[in-house]
Every structure is written in C-alpha cells, then in structure tokens.
A = this chain, B = another copy of it.
Amino acid sequence: MNNSLSIEEIFNLVRDTLNRAGSSSHQSEAVADTISRAERDGSVSHGLFRLPGYFASLKSGKVNPNPNPNLSQITKAVLKCDGDRSYAPLVHKKFLNNLVNVSKDIGVGILSINRVAHFASLWPETEILAENGLVGIACTSYMPAVAPFGASKKLYGTNPISFAWPRKNENPIVFDMATSSLALGDVQIAARDGHDLPIGTGIDKNGNDTTDPKKILEGMLLPFGGYKGSHFAMMIEFLAGPLVGETTSFITKENNINDGGPPLGGQFIMALAPEIISDLNDWDKNAEPFIEKLSSFDGVRIPGKRRHDNRNNIEKVEVNSELLNKIYSLK
C-alpha cells in the first residue's frame, strides 16, 4: 500500500470518506481543509488520526450530515452562532470573516458558538484571525478527562486554548495547547505505539501515579503546571461553557451520545484589534523587538514556527499504514 500522500490526496481522502458517511460536500470540504492543513503542518494528532472519529459521529447521528449553521448579531461586538450540530470547521469557514469585520470595526469581537463537534486543533481559527491583523484567542472544553489539581476525579476536559499574535510582514506567533499535561490524542497515540509517558502526565483510576498511557486513558490526565494550570483549565470550562450558553464538560458528557468522539458543545472565539486598542497605527513597533529578542535566545522555540517551517517544506506525508487501512475500510 502506498502510504505516502500529498496534501491534496489527504484533502480528497477526507472529503470522500465523509461524503461516503452522508455528509454534505460543503461540510466535508471544511473538515478536509482542516485535517489536510494539520497534516501539512506535522500536527499528526489532529490530522487523519481524527478521521475515524469524524466518521463515527456521522454514523451515530450526533453530527448533522447536512447542517445549516446560522449567525445572529447580538450587539455590535457579539456574534452568536448555532452550529446546528455541524463540525466546527464549517462554522469557521462560514463565519470567521464576520468576526474579522466586527473586530476591525469596534476593536474587539466575540464569536459565541453552540452545538458544534470540535475534533480539531484551534490554531486554524486563531491563525486566520492573526493573518487578518487581529489577535486571536479561542478555547473549547471537551468531556472530562482531567482531575482538578489536588483531586483524583475527572472534571475538566483537556480544554485547549489557542492564542495568535499578528505580525505585519511575518508569520503570526501562534500557540495552541491543551491545559492538560498532554493532549488526549497524544496519550492515545502513545497507547497505540506502546510508549511510556512521564510521571505527572496522569493518574490511574484509583488516583495513583502511572507512566502507562493505557492506565491514564482508563484513569485521568492531570492539568499541566500544578494548581496554576488547573486554574486555566477551570477558566476554559467557564469561557467555552456557561459564557457561550453551553454546559461544562461533566454535564456535556451526561448529554453525549457515546460514539467515541467529542460531544456537541460550544466554542469561544475572540478577536482583538491592536491598532484600535493601542490607538497606534504602528502598534507592531512595540512587539517586533520582543519577538526578535525571544528568537535570539538559545533553547527557545517560537510558538507556531515549527508548523510554519513544516508547511514550507512539505511535499508528501507518510501516513501510519494501520490508520490508512482503517480509513479505507470505514463504512
């Protein structure tokens, strides 16, 4: 089997697979764009690895095969979207541009999203905002997989957050990370490949430290960075849950169709216009010397740079053969 695929072949594979499960082409292409961009950038855990989960959520009826997400403008700064049980990338494709316009007009905009299934990274949405000259912040909460600091019961999702800082003539600075010690996808990949994980990544179902990813999957992850990371995980429960009119992770789980994928839920996306908030046309003059300094330090990784570098050099992606077989056999 040829498991070396071009980005276009990955796009087509995703689109055709989701179409086969009944999705509208419009929705399939939005997801295909997100997955192929992840593979292009070397983000394996959010690439094709997710496709069987997407497929299952169409088959289970959780995700609407032919959704029609709609947008309402609540105020000059706040947009609200009912996702109509779509995949989040469809909402982004349709409405991120509205958020850009609101934010450029009034300095800040919020896109408050309900009823979407978010299986992807968050950088695709914040990166687009930054490419439009805006600061992007996005977060979402998943089903409980993480114990609050000090506890040995799950309550928080892996609750990722992404932040993007725009630059006038360079790629934006973008980070996107789980507030758990590790993303759930990475634990799943470690379990699949039989790799141990460091102590502190998670605990088993009885609350004991373990290095075995399978025991962590049966048990729970820990937040990154002790009580401080736990506070950020909690913050994201509030922002991507009650603030946007959705439940928090543990209630979301109770309402979820248990098909293995993420539940339907909310997303909080915010854009900030530095030109307006700083009241300076040359707002970047205060940021560029800092980025230059940070880049000059030995041992420092500029967030987003590896993805941008991968992107520039990519021709073909080697896809795990077992995964590819699984995708071909999905029905």
A residues adjacent to B (C-beta < 8 A): 74-78, 80, 105-108, 110, 112, 135, 148-153, 155, 163, 165, 173, 175, 177, 179, 224-229, 231-232, 234-235, 237-239, 241-248, 250-251, 270, 272, 274, 276-280, 283-284, 286-287, 289-290, 293-294, 297-301, 303
Contacts and interface: CB of A to CB of B under 8 A. Distances in A.
A227 B286 contact: no
Given A238-B165, A250-B293, A112 B151 contact: no
A67 B250 CA distance: 49
B244 A277 contact: yes
Contact of A290 (B175, B177, B237): B237
Contacts of A231: 163, 175, 177, 303
Contact of A242 (B148, B225, B287): B287
15 contacts: A77-B106, A108-B108, A108-B270, A110-B277, A135-B238, A151-B297, A155-B294, A155-B297, A177-B228, A224-B226, A231-B303, A241-B287, A245-B279, A248-B286, A250-B290
Contacts of A80: 277, 279
A163 B276 CA distance: 23
A300 B148 contact: yes
B251 A272 contact: no
Given A151-B299, A238-B165, A241-B290, A106 B78 contact: yes
A150 B299 contact: yes
A157 to B, nearest CB: 12
A15 to B, nearest CB: 33
Contacts of A150: 297-301
Given A224-B226, A225-B224, A228-B224, A107 B75 contact: yes
A76 B76 contact: yes
A297 B148 contact: yes
A112 B248 contact: no
A213 B329 CA distance: 60
A300 B149 contact: yes
A226 B274 CA distance: 28
Nearest to A289: B251
A77 B76 contact: yes
Nearest to A251: B289
Which of A175, A242, A251: most chain B Cβ within 10 A?
A: A242
Contact of A77 (B107, B228, B237): B107
B245 A283 contact: yes
B163 A235 contact: yes
Nearest to A225: B225
Nearest to A137: B235
A191 B218 CA distance: 44
Given A78-B107, A227-B301, A277-B112, A272 B243 contact: yes
A147 to B, nearest CB: 8
A170 to B, nearest CB: 14
Nearest to A105: B75
